C-alpha cells in the first residue's frame, strides 16, 4: 500500500539528492524514522528504499492517514 510513496536510490549521491530532513527506511519490515545525515547514527546517511519527509509534522500526518500500515518507530540514535 505504501509502494507509491517509496523512493529508490541506487547510490549515495542519489539518496542525498532525494532525501529531505527526515526519512523512513523501507528496506525491511522494521520501518525506522531517521534524521537525514545524523552524526550519531550510521544508518542515517543512506537507504536504498525510503519515504522522505520535510518536517516531523508531515511524518505525523502521514502516519495518521496510513494508520493501518506498519507504524514507524523512531531511531534511538537520531532522536535522543
66 part of a folded domain: yes
80 part of a folded domain: no
Residue 72's CB is within 10 A of a number of other CB atoms, namely 22
Alpha helical stretches, state H, 7-70? 12-18, 56-65
Residues spanned by the domain of 59: 3-74
> Residue with C-alpha cell 516531523?
56
44 part of a folded domain: yes
55's grid cell: 518536517
Residue by residue, pLDDT tens for the chain (80 residues) are 789 999 999 998 999 999 999 999 998 777 899 999 999 999 999 999 999 999 999 999 999 998 888 788 999 999 99
The pTM (predicted TM-score) of the whole model is: 0.89
31 part of a folded domain: yes
45 part of a folded domain: yes
**Number of domains into which the chain is organized:** 1
How many Cα atoms are found within 13 Å in the side-chain-facing hemisphere of 64?
6
CA distance 41 to 37: 8
78's grid cell: 537520531
Amino acid at each position: 500500500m505504501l509502494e507509491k510513496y517509496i523512493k529508490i536510490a541506487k547510490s549515495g549521491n542519489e539518496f542525498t539528492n532525494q532525501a529531505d530532513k527526515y526519512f523512513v527506511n523501507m528496506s525491511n519490515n522494521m520501518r525506522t524514522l531517521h534524521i537525514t545525515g545524523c552524526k550519531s547514527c550510521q544508518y542515517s546517511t543512506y537507504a536504498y528504499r525510503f519515504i522522505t519527509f520535510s518536517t516531523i509534522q508531515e511524518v505525523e500526518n502521514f502516519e495518521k492517514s496510513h494508520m493501518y500500515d506498519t507504524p514507524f518507530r523512531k531511531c534511538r540514535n537520531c532522536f535522543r
